[in-house]
């Protein structure tokens, strides 16, 4: 195993980048204990080692005397359009502190150093979608909230007309669809077909249902996920992209038909999204639930101005 890549240290802890390949067992055990639930190793390997463009970068606080991981956050790079330019930014995920080490400020310390450390890999900004407990810790570490995402939801569903087809695998056509259909957005994750397949076709613990519209020319796609939230049977629209309103309506119809027998269909909707009016016309309504998106840029760089974002549940590793 290569020597640990130390970033800084104090009397009790060393802060370093851990290797998700050689230290997989150690990191996996920490996650199970920190979150208090089981994580299958195949899911760990998928997220940390099988992303098509790099391994996940895992930043940890490690207790010197025992070698135990006390706190950790992961950073995985994606290509985003910010303004008119495509840039690489890293998504902060899986942040947690072991119960035995909480209250020591470790999470905030790691969070404060992430983006500067990612600069070594030519990453300009970090993005995250923290839960309510983690948000104050990120804010304390210098992250900001440029926008809040609203959940749009619907509870009564219409039948689809069969205009869409299942997606077996994403191919190169989706690269062009992303480039062309997102030109009017100034903040959007530019997923190519390799990332789409990794995210929705190769994840081992979730069964996503993917549909496309357009023949012979591709006009859009949608990714759906069923799950049980206590007593509520939900369907998430995890990803959605449409080249025109006709395609968008056809994809929403598929989502409604897929949701028959469920209690709720929902999706994230950023403020000022061009898609919002289409969903409103399909009788989706905003819920009271809000999800903050956080950003932090390197050095003293100001956050980018975001006027027309498109952010989906699939941009977060949780969904």
Note the pLDDT of residue 113. 95
Note the pLDDT of residue 272. 86
Note the pLDDT of residue 4. 61
pTM: 0.94
Q: Which residues pair with 78 in a beta bridge?
A: 89
Note the pLDDT of residue 242. 97
Q: Is 57 helix (H, G, I), strand (E, B) or coil?
A: strand
Note the pLDDT of residue 1. 43
> How many CA atoms does the CB half-sphere of 204 hold within 13 Å?
11
Contacts of 49 (CB under 8 A, 6+ apart): 20, 21, 24, 55, 56
Note the pLDDT of residue 14. 97
Mean pLDDT, rounded, of the chain? 94
Output the CA torsion 55→51→306→212 (10° steps).
180
State how far Cα 305 lies from the chain centre.
20
Note the pLDDT of residue 2. 47
> In which residue ranges of the chain is pLDDT below 70?
1-4
What are the structural domains of the chain? 5-142 (3.40.630.30), 149-293+300-315 (3.40.630.30)
């Amino acid at each position: 195993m290569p020597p640990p890549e130390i970033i800084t240290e104090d009397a009790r802890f060393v802060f370093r980048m851990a290797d998700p390949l050689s230290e997989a067992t150690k990191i996996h055990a920490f996650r199970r204990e920190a979150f208090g639930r089981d994580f299958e190793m195949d899911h760990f390997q998928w997220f940390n080692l099988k992303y098509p463009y790099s391994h996940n970068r895992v930043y940890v606080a490690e207790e010197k005397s025992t070698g135990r991981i006390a706190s950790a956050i992961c950073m995985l790079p994606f290509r985003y359009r910010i303004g008119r330019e495509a840039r690489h930014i890293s998504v902060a995920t899986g942040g947690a502190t072991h119960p035995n080490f909480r209250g020591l400020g470790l999470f905030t310390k790691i969070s404060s150093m992430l983006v500067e450390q990612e600069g070594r890999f030519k990453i300009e900004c970090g993005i995250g979608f923290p839960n309510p407990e983690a948000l104050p810790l990120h804010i304390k570490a210098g992250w900001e909230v440029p926008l809040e995402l609203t959940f749009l939801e619907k509870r009564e569903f219409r039948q689809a007309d069969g205009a869409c087809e299942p997606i077996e695998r994403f191919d190169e056509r989706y690269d062009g669809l992303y480039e062309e259909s997102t030109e009017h957005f100034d903040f959007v994750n530019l997923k190519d077909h390799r990332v789409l397949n990794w995210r929705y076709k190769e994840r081992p613990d979730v069964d996503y249902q993917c549909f496309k519209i357009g023949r012979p020319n591709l006009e859009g796609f949608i990714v759906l996920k069923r799950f049980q939230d206590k007593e509520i049977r939900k369907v998430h629209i995890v990803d959605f992209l449409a080249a025109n309103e006709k395609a968008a309506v056809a994809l929403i119809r598929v989502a409604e038909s897929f949701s028959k027998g469920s209690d709720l269909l929902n999706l994230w909707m950023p403020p000022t999204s061009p898609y919002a009016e289409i969903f409103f016309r399909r009788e989706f309504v905003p819920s009271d639930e809000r999800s903050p998106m956080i950003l932090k840029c390197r050095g003293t760089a100001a956050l980018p101005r975001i006027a027309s974002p498109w952010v989906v549940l699939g941009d977060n590793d949780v969904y």
